């Protein structure tokens, strides 16, 4: 049986209707945590919730667009109402609108920054007082290797993901005395709906030392570690889970 090292902990995972977010929610559920599933697609919210409840843990679903300051506030308030506390916040919700800078529209820029970066601010700000009162919290922000190294065609995405790193480090410094750990995970090329169109070219695989793309479950395992007491002395860090793509 799975190690239940998150028993009685409450976790909110944004963007958990599919892909990496869903894998994270399932991993934390299997470790015994109560889960708040959230996203913007109602049908996927329902099916994701059912999958998570099937692990035997308590879970609820709350529809939320993290880019909206007030919706994020509501998400956290409803979660606290339901479970009494929030121990783990995983800021995973993210989108791409790829294009070269010479063609990138204002809308392409704004939407990616709003969901990926402002969304992290919105949810984190909303949860901070609760975690401070608890004198306990784990905030895990999903950045990306391209936030660290840039990537042609993703100026908006890499700016948002790099911004998450700067934000996380500031937060780590602000909240450390209240026993709240703030870290980032930087996935590399992971097989999900978001990356399905990109294909597995030889050139891409050649750039990954481990010679393969990653699985959502592998990101989820790293999140599980940062959510657990095993990582209590780790804060302000960016943990790459990328097969060695960016060192």
Judged by the rule CB under 8 A, the positions of this chain that interact with other proteins are 69, 100-102, 104, 106, 109-110, 113, 117-118, 121, 124-125, 128-129, 132, 146-156, 158-175, 236
The nearest distance, CB 178 to other proteins, in angstroms, is 10
CB-based contact 84:7 (threshold 8 Å): no
The nearest distance, CB 146 to other proteins, in angstroms, is 7
CB-based contact 7:15 (threshold 8 Å): no
Complex with other proteins: residue 79 or 154, whichever CB lies closer: 154
- Helix H segments across 54-105? 69-83
- Please give the Cα distance from 68 to 73 (Å, whole number): 9
Check if 157 is active-site: yes
Catalytic one among 83, 157, 167, 189?
A: 157
| Alpha-carbon distances of 38 from 48, 52, 123, rounded to whole Å | 9, 12, 12
Complex with other proteins: residue 80 or 164, whichever CB lies closer: 164
The nearest distance, CB 6 to other proteins, in angstroms, is 25
CB-based contact 62:78 (threshold 8 Å): yes
CB-based contact 125:91 (threshold 8 Å): no
How many residues are there in the chain? 247
Complex with other proteins: residue 53 or 207, whichever CB lies closer: 207
The nearest distance, CB 75 to other proteins, in angstroms, is 15
Q: Which helix (H) or strand (E) holds 153?
A: none
CB-based contact 42:96 (threshold 8 Å): no
Instruction: Report which of 164, 156, 246 is spatially closest to residue 207, judged by C-alpha positions.
Output: 246
The nearest distance, CB 126 to other proteins, in angstroms, is 10
- Please give the Cα distance from 63 to 42 (Å, whole number): 7
Which residue numbers are catalytic?
A: 157
């Amino acid at each position: 049986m799975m190690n239940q090292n998150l028993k009685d902990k409450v976790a909110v995972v944004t963007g958990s209707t599919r892909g990496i977010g869903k894998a994270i929610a399932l991993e934390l559920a299997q470790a015994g945590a109560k889960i708040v599933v959230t996203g913007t697609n109602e049908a996927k919210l329902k099916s994701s919730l059912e999958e998570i409840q099937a692990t035997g843990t308590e879970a609820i679903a709350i529809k939320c667009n993290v880019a909206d300051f007030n919706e994020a506030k509501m998400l956290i308030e409803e979660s606290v109402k339901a479970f009494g506390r929030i121990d783990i916040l995983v800021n995973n919700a993210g989108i791409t609108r790829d294009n070269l800078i010479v063609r990138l529209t204002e809308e392409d820029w704004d939407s990616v920054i709003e969901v990926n970066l402002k969304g992290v601010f919105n949810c984190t700000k909303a949860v901070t007082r609760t975690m401070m009162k608890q004198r306990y919290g784990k905030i895990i922000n999903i950045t990306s290797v391209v936030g660290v190294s840039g990537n042609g065609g993703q100026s908006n995405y890499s700016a948002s993901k790099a911004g998450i790193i700067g934000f996380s480090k500031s937060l780590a410094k602000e909240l450390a005395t209240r026993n709240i750990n703030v870290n980032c995970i930087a996935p590399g090329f992971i097989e999900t709906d978001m990356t399905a169109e990109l294909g597995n070219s030889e050139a891409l695989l050649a750039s990954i030392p481990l010679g393969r793309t990653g699985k959502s479950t592998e990101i989820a395992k790293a999140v599980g570690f940062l959510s657990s007491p095993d990582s209590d002395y780790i804060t302000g860090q960016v943990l790459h889970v990328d097969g060695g793509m960016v060192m």
